[in-house]
Amino acid sequence: MSIEINHVSKYFGDFKALEQIQLSIKKGELIALLGPSGSGKTSLLRIIAGLESASEGSIFFNDQDMTDVDAVSRHVGFVFQHYALFSHMTVADNISYGLRVRSRRVRPSKKEINEKVDELLNLVKLDGLQKRYPSQLSGGQRQRVALARALAVQPEVLLLDEPFGALDAKVRKELRRWLRNLHNQFDVTSIFVTHDQEEAMDVADRIVVMNKGRIEQIGTPDEVYENPNSPFVFDFLGNVNLFKGRVQEGNLTSGTITLRTSGSPKHENKEVVGYIRPHQMELHQSHIEGAFPIKITHIQPVGPIVFIEAEKVNEGELIDIELPKNEFTPLGLKIGDTVYSRPNQVHVFSPEEFSI
């Protein structure tokens, strides 16, 4: 099922929670709505589900206008952060609920329902727990039951609101992988809300970055990380080194440091901020063109990456650098050494790009 969101806005009284949201989702895509608290992620998800109405705009599933169709008739699966399981029902009854409440004409037989429950329990790796009650399960297990319940009715659209938000880091990671596999197997179109950039990067085909009720950027995890189109996206999606200064003839001068930029005319002769990701900083033992001196203050190897913190000589500010271990080790560097750093990419934003 493809989903088309056309110019959707949402007002709560005078407050504009969503402003002119325009989004096309392809059949079978796994989309993350990513943004800080209050950016409108849940409101958008609820409007897609039909649990909330849009103040303006329309929603289409395939070619069908769903804008005024109620939630039940949209046939979407929904999973909330706080496992909304029925506490007085067993796991099996929770999972089969959506099938059992169907009208008699389309309701499967008892045998078919039992088979479906077994199949889903196997899929979510909870075999044998049919008779347990939600209170007898761990948080991760409950959330897997909630997913099995949502999938039982074979929805073509699966909506998840911070599904793993209440779980610890290790379980979250496991469930993410597992959601990805499940999504592929079921061939559903899935949209999940998260404020965790790592989670969005790990799972989604495309990320929709939201801020203050608007979409800032839509792209693959790689696109939004490597080519953020605004300072907000840059900051929100990872660690960054900032260089404030002025651009002249394509060179950004920040204190005693001069960096080569892509030379966009729109930044010429302007006060700007240069954004550089830690992995875009090179390290050299001797001075080369475009490099500036730094003094190493901290070295932290983590798996295949070495995280380095260094002080800009003359400037005093700290910067972060990330290098693959096999590139860092041969340099034989230690804390206190002075070396040279050069960015291999500088993203420059001028004041008008900081409008939000």
Using rule CB under 6 A, residue 37 touches ligand ATP: yes
In the chain the beta strands, taken as DSSP E runs, fall at 3-12, 15-25, 30-34, 56-61, 64-65, 76-79, 157-161, 189-194, 206-211, 214-219, 241-248, 251-254, 257-260, 271-276, 281-284, 292-302, 305-312, 318-324, 338-343, 347-349
Q: Give whichever of 39 and 280 is closer to ligand ATP, judged by the CB atom.
A: 39
Q: Which is nearer to ligand ATP, 21 or 306 (CB)?
A: 21
17 interacts with ligand ATP by CB under 6 A: yes
90 lines the binding site for ligand ATP (CB under 6 A): no
Shortest distance, position 49 Cβ to ligand ATP, whole Å: 12
- The minimum distance between CB 255 and ligand ATP, in angstroms, equals 37
Residue 296: count of CB within 10 angstroms of its CB: 18
Residue-wise over 140-179: b if at least 16 C-beta within 10 A, else e? bbbbbbbbbbbbbbebbbbbbbbbbbbbeeebbeebbebb
Say which residues have a Cβ less than 8 Å from residue 224's Cβ, sequence separation at least 6: 207, 209, 217, 218, 233, 237
Q: Does 35 bind ligand ATP (CB under 6 A)?
A: yes
Please, which residue, 40 or 140, has the CB nearer to ligand ATP? 40
Q: Which of residues 12, 70, 264, 327 is near ligand ATP by CB under 6 A?
A: 12
Q: Which residues of 96-134 are buried (b: 16+ CB within 10 A; e: fewer)?
A: bebbeeeeeeeeeeeeebeebbeebbebbebeebbebeb
- Toward ligand ATP, which CB reaches closer, 215 or 272? 215
Of 11-19, 91-99, 174-182, 243-251: span binding ligand ATP (CB under 6 A) = 11-19
Among 34, 42, 144, 146, which residue sits at the site for ligand ATP (rule: CB under 6 A)? 42
Among the listed ranges 41-49, 255-263, 321-329, 343-351, the one in contact with ligand ATP (CB under 6 A) is 41-49
Amino acid type, 213: G
- Only one of the segments 9-17, 184-192, 232-240, 241-249 lies at the binding site for ligand ATP (rule: CB under 6 A); that segment is 9-17
Q: Does 163 bind ligand ATP (CB under 6 A)?
A: no
Count of residues that interact with ligand ATP, criterion CB under 6 A = 12
Q: HSE of 93 in the Cβ direction (CA atoms, 13 Å)?
A: 9
Q: Which stretch binds ligand ATP (CB under 6 A): 36-44, 244-252, 271-279, 308-316?
A: 36-44
List contacts with ligand ATP (CB under 6 A).
12, 15, 17, 35, 37-43, 195
